Amino acid sequence: MFDNFLIHTFHDGNCLQAYKIFGAHFETHEGKKGVRFTTYAPNARSAQVVGEFNQWGETPCYMERYNNGGIYTIFVEGVKEFDMYKFRFETPQGDIIDKADPYAYFSELRPGTASKVYNMEGYRWHDSKWIKNRTKNYDCPLNIYEASLGSWKMKRESEGEGDDGEYYSYEELIDEIIPYVKKMGYTHLEVMPLTEFPFDGSWGYQATGFYSATSRYGQPKQLMKFIDACHQEGIGVIMDFVPAHFVKDSHGLHMYDGGFVYDYNDYNRRYSPWDSVYFDLGKNEVRSFLLSSVEFFATYYHIDGFRFDAVSNLIYYEGNKNLGENIGAMEWMKRLNGHMSGYHPTVMMIAEDSTDYPGVTKPVGEHGLGFDYKWDLGWMNDTLKYFQEDPVYRQYDSRFITFSMAYFYSERFLLEFSHDEVVHGKATIINKMWGLHGDKLAQVKALYVYMMLHPGKKLNFMGNELAEYKEWDESKSLGWDILKYPDHDAFHHFAQKLNEIYLKYPALYEMDYDLKGFEWLVVDDHDQCVFAIERKDKAGNAIIAVMNFVGNTHEKYKVPVNIEGSYKEILNTDQAVYSGKNIVNPRAIRSKKTKPNEKTKLLNKDHYIEVKLAPFSACIFEVKPKKGTPKKTPKKTKRVIKKTK
C-alpha cells in the first residue's frame, strides 16, 4: 500500500516526496474507486476523516494506524474531485479538533478553511525546451520583477471592510502580466507566496497549506498553465517560500493533533514576533515536510527558483545572533540545498538573509549553506540611506555607495528593491529620494543606473518602474493611471530602456561574480560625489557608467579609462525623452592620452574621456577600442574560447 522506503526517509528527515504518502490520493482498492487519506498525527488518540462525502462525520470514517509510527490512513469509496474534507482528532487531553490537511493539494477559498480533494496528474506541459536550456544564470542575465499576483492589477478593487475585491485568475493573468513582463525586459517573474494562506494582509507570509496553491486565483492546473505560458515566452518563475513559520489559526499546523508535531515543544522557542509559530526544524518529520514541499513545487509546477523568506530566523533563533545558532534549521537548509542540487540542478535557491553569517552561498561540501544567491540587504540599506540625505552631506558619506564592493565577492549577492521597501509607512523608492519632484525623479533614474552597473543580479518590486508615490497596498491595484502624467510615462520608458541595455550587453551580467568584471574608475571624488564604473564581459568588451549624485553640472568632467578608443553614450538619464533637460553627450567621445604632469589621484590612468554631466544624472557608454588595441581578456576566458573554437 505504501512505499516503506519513503516512510523510512520521512522519519529520517530526508524525504523529498512525502506528498506521495500523505494527503488525499485517488486509487482503486479491492476493485473500488475512491480516495486514500493519510496523515501524520503521532499524538492523537484517534483520527478520522470528515467531509462532504460522509456528511462531515455523521457516518464515521475512522482511520487506522499504520505500523505504529504515528501514521493514520483510510480508503473511502466514492469520493470525488473537489470534495471538501478535514481530519478530526481526539487529542491526548480528550478534546475533539478538526484540522485542514497539511498535504492537501487544493483548499477552500477563504474564509473557508477546508481542504479539497484534487487530482494533480494529467497536465500536459509545453516547456520542454525551456527546461532543457534552463540554468542558474550565474553568467546569464537575471533581472527579476517581483509581484503580488492579486494586486498587480485587479478586476475590481475592494470597496471596504468585508469586500475582498475581485482578482484576475491564473489563466486570465496569462494575457495580462506575461506580455508586460516580456515587453519591459525582465527575465524572471518572482511571485509572492502562493502557498495557501487565510489572511490577505499577511501577503502570503503566514501560510496554512504548504502544498496547496492558493485558491484566490483559481485551481492548481490553472497555475501550471500560467507558468507554462511564462516559459513559452522565455520568462522564468521564482516562488517566494516561507520555511521559518506558519499561522496560529486553529485549522492549521499549530498543535496539529493536540500535541506539537510541527512546532517547538518549548514554549520559549515556539512563537515568532509576527504572532505566528516557528517550525521546529530539529524534528525529522518537519524537515521532510518542508523538503518535500519545495520539491513538490519544483516537480509539479516547474518552478525555476525559490526565494526563501527570513533565512536569518533559520540561522539564529528569532534572527538574533545573541540567542545562538539554530542548528536544526541550518541542518535542514543544508539538506534542502544538497538534495535540490542533485534532483533539480537548474532550480535557483535564493536566501533572503539579513545576517553576516559566512558561507550562505558556498556549497554544502565546502561547509556552506548551499544557496545559489543571497539578497544584498546591506547594499540596499546603504544605498537608500545615501539617496535620502541632503546632497550637501553626501560628500562625507561616499562609503554608502562604495562599501558594498568591499564584501561583495564573499557571497553570490543579488541586488534588490523589494516589496519590503515600499509598504505602509516606508515610502516608495522615488519618495525616499531627497528633494522635490524634479530632483526625486532625476535621482531615482541615476539610482537605477547605479544598480544596473553594480555587479550582482537584480530584483525590483512592481510599481518601482512607474516611479509610484503611492505605497503598495495588497487590496488595491498598482497606480497605472499615473502613466497619464508625462514625467511618469517617460520614467516608465526609461526603465524599459535600461532593462533592454542590461539584456543587450553581456558586460553587465557575464562576470558578476568575477573580480575581473568590475572596476571603479572614479571612486575618490568625494567633494563632487561623482562615481564611475567599468564592467567587462568574458571577451573583454567594456561598458562604463558615470554618475553625478549631486546638483552640480559638469561640462568636461575627466574620467580615467582603461581602454583607448571611442565612447558612445547609449543612455543618459537627462535625455529629454526621459523628462530631462537634455544635457547629454550626443557624439562619441574619443579618449585622450593623459600627460605625465596631469596624473593625479583622480586622473590615474593613461587615458581619459571628458564627459558632460547634468545634475543628479547618470550616463552609460559603450566602449569601442581603437583599431589595433588588443582586448585584455582573462587567461581563463581565452582558454575556454580556444577550446570552443
- Catalytic residue positions, numbered: 309, 352
Q: Report how far Cα 543 is from the mean position of its chain's Cα atoms.
A: 27
Q: What is the DSSP string of 152-214?
A: HSEEE---STT---EEPPHHHHHTTHHHHHHHHT-SEEEEPP-EE-S-GGGTTSS-SEEEEE-
Place of cell 504518502: 21
CA distance 319 to 313: 4
Tell me whether strands 236-241 and 188-191 are parallel, antiparallel or unpaired: parallel
Torsion of CA 294, 302, 502, 465, to 10 degrees: -80
110 touches 167 (CB < 8 A): no
CA distance 532 to 640: 30
Kindly give the residue spans of alpha helices, DSSP state H, lying in 468-617.
Answer: 486-504
Which residues lie below 8 Å from residue 179, measured CB to CB, with a gap of 6+?
233
Which residues lie below 8 Å from residue 29, measured CB to CB, with a gap of 6+?
36, 75, 77
First and final C-alpha spacing in the chain: 55
E-strand ranges in 316-455 read 348-351, 373-375, 413-417
CB atoms within 10 A of CB 206: 23
| Cβ neighbourhood burial of 170 (10 Å; 0-12, 13-18, 19+) | buried
Which residues lie below 8 Å from residue 184, measured CB to CB, with a gap of 6+?
145, 465, 495, 496, 499
Kindly give the residue spans of alpha helices, DSSP state H, lying in 209-362.
Answer: 220-232, 267-270, 284-300, 312-315, 327-343
Edge to edge, what strands does the sheet with 32-40 contain? 23-29, 32-40, 71-77, 64-66
Tell me whether strands 305-308 and 236-241 are parallel, antiparallel or unpaired: parallel
- Beta bridge mates, 532: 522, 546
CB atoms within 10 A of CB 94: 8
H-helix or E-strand spanning residue 73: strand 71-77
Nearest to 527 by CA among 549, 546, 544: 549
CA distance 17 to 14: 9
Phi and psi of 503, rounded to 5°? Answer: -70, -30
- In the 8-state DSSP scheme, what is residue 365? G
Report residue 214 as a C-alpha cell: 492558493
CA distances from 27 to 31, 37, 77, 348, 507 (A): 10, 10, 9, 34, 54
CA distances from 305 to 142, 347, 349, 373 (A): 12, 5, 6, 10
